[in-house]
Amino acid sequence: MFNLAFSRNKNNDSDDKMKMGLVKEVPILMQSIAASYVYLDSLCSIASGLSYERLGGVPVSGFPNVVDKYHFTHNGNFFCEIFVYAYHPENLNFIPAPFKGLNSNVSDEIFVQTPKSKYRYMRSITHLVLAKNGFVDSDFDLWNPEKQILLNSEMSELGYEIELELLILESFKVFKMNHPTLKVLDFINVFTRDFHNRKLVPYTPDFIQERNERLLKSYDAIIETINRIQAWQDNDLLRKRIEIDTNKGVEDNSLGVIDMKNCITPFCFVSVGCDVFGRYNMSYGIESQILKMISDNMASTLLRRIYEFTAGELEPFVGFVSLSMDCISYFESTMKNVENENYTLIEVKRNEEKSIADLFNNLEFKDDVDEVTKRWMRR
């Protein structure tokens, strides 16, 4: 009967489609608890004011496990009940009829991955990795072949590989040494809260770690180029930049390509992030009005330095966003967060010389942008 129920749903019976998710006999089919919450979170994105809570599991004829019942409200008022079966071999996303009534233009695009959905999966992955290695709080967490299939699926969903499992296990051992009385769930809360892709780096091959270091040096050299360019600007705003360093804390637990370092100016931005394989990546963009802000020569110097510092094996890990960005708006919006511990507002002092010609007439300042950036690359 269990298989017949799934077969009926897949055959798109019109009556069942009208009921799908609204009655316990025709639940939404998901492959895990984490996937269920991702699905429910997606429904909440359809209209503001939607929220839900789990009422519990209900037994349903034909389903080996319980069907979960959720109570939805809209702006504080009862909206509907949704039933989800979290033990299906695959996720079958579907928008129940009441939600379509809130937004006639709603589509399956609501089910794309978001930072929140990735967080849900990360909690489940962490729990499964610990269960696989015998670290459990109850018999309910004991390992079985079905959980291995689920772990493989959720790891694939986020794109992570063996490095993540190694990180989870090593982190748990350290956690238990420091907090021997705390439970597995306590670790899961801490690990997912503080997770950053950069923590995967020690578990990557040496050649990746070496390339990561070279990319960071390239980033620093580019920032020094920007610093030297800013020092020649008469406009106070053009001599300002915001640098963000998430190594000082956790700025963004979005789990995808998580930024580690950012430099944002009114005329450009440069950032370094870390992907799911522990590889550093750089991206940059240029303000569309850059030639009205700084000289043609300086704009050319900036682009040339970026190309030079990221050539060769680094090139595949550098992404060019756009030559026509609105960096001014980006800078102004980021200014609102400068009180954050990871943000630093830098105001570059104007060079004492009136012009670049004065610089070359003064032997004390003959180390121009070229020389400075070369020194940075030699570090």
Full domain range(s) for residue 82: 2-112
End position of a domain, from candidates 195, 216, 242:
195
Residues in CB range of 78: below 8 A, 6 or more apart: 71, 72
Q: Are residues 160 and 228 in the same domain?
A: no
CA 8/CA 20 separation, integer angstroms: 11
Q: Are residues 226 and 362 in the same domain?
A: yes
Q: Are residues 97 and 121 in the same domain?
A: no
More confident residue, 44 or 375: 44
> pLDDT for 323-348, tens place per residue?
788 999 999 999 998 888 889 999 99
Predicted local distance difference test score (pLDDT) of residue 17: 79
- The set of long-range contacts for 57-62, using a CB threshold of 8 Å and a minimum separation of 24, is 58/24, 58/83, 60/24, 60/25, 60/27, 60/85, 61/1, 61/25, 62/1, 62/2, 62/4, 62/5, 62/25
Q: Are residues 368 and 238 in the same domain?
A: yes
Token pair for 242: 């915001």
> pLDDT for 179-198, tens place per residue?
999 999 999 999 998 899 99
In this structure, the number of other CB atoms found within 10 A of the CB of residue 273 comes to 23
| Pick from 261, 208, 266: nearest CA to 236 | 266
Token pair for 224: 């020094």
> pLDDT for 78-111, tens place per residue?
999 999 999 998 899 999 999 999 998 999 999 9
Token pair for 175: 């956690």
User: Can you give the pTM of this predicted structure?
Assistant: 0.79
Q: Are residues 341 and 359 in the same domain?
A: yes
Predicted local distance difference test score (pLDDT) of residue 14: 65
Q: Are residues 108 and 133 in the same domain?
A: no
End position of a domain, from candidates 195, 219, 249:
195
Predicted local distance difference test score (pLDDT) of residue 4: 38
Total tally of structural domains belonging to the chain = 3
CA 305/CA 226 separation, integer angstroms: 10
End position of a domain, from candidates 86, 112, 138:
112
Q: What is the band of 138 on the pLDDT scale with cuts at 50, 70, 90?
A: confident
Q: Are residues 120 and 90 in the same domain?
A: no
Q: Are residues 108 and 222 in the same domain?
A: no
Q: Are residues 155 and 95 in the same domain?
A: no
Q: Are residues 255 and 355 in the same domain?
A: yes
Q: Are residues 229 and 149 in the same domain?
A: no
